[in-house]
Amino acid sequence: MTEYVKTILQKVSFSKYLFERELRKGLRIISHTEIQEFKEWCYLMFGNIHQVILNRYFKPAY
């Protein structure tokens, strides 16, 4: 399911609204064991354009 969610996020990354909605939905279906890897991927791929949204759903690492 993680790969499916990644694909969807890449397709909707142009829209903050769609990105946040799909991220929220995706976090419900991704297993807890895959969350950390998914978080790292999200920040790597979208941290420069959707950092505020990502920080809302993931605790930022300091």
Q: Decide if 13 is inside a domain.
A: yes
Q: Decide if 37 is inside a domain.
A: yes
Structural domain containing residue 21: 2-57
pLDDT at residue 58 greater than cutoff 80: yes
Q: Decide if 49 is inside a domain.
A: yes
Does the global pTM surpass 0.95?
A: no
Mean pLDDT of 51-57: 94
> What domain count does the chain have?
1
- pLDDT tens for 8-35 read 999 999 999 999 999 999 999 999 899 9
Mean pLDDT of 37-61: 91
The predicted pLDDT at position 41 comes to 96
As a residue count, the chain comes to: 62
Q: Decide if 29 is inside a domain.
A: yes
- The mean predicted confidence, pLDDT, of the chain is 93
Place of tokens 């809302």: 56
Q: Decide if 62 is inside a domain.
A: no
Specify whether the backbone of 11 is left (phi greater than 0), alpha (psi in -120 to 50) or beta: alpha
Q: Decide if 18 is inside a domain.
A: yes
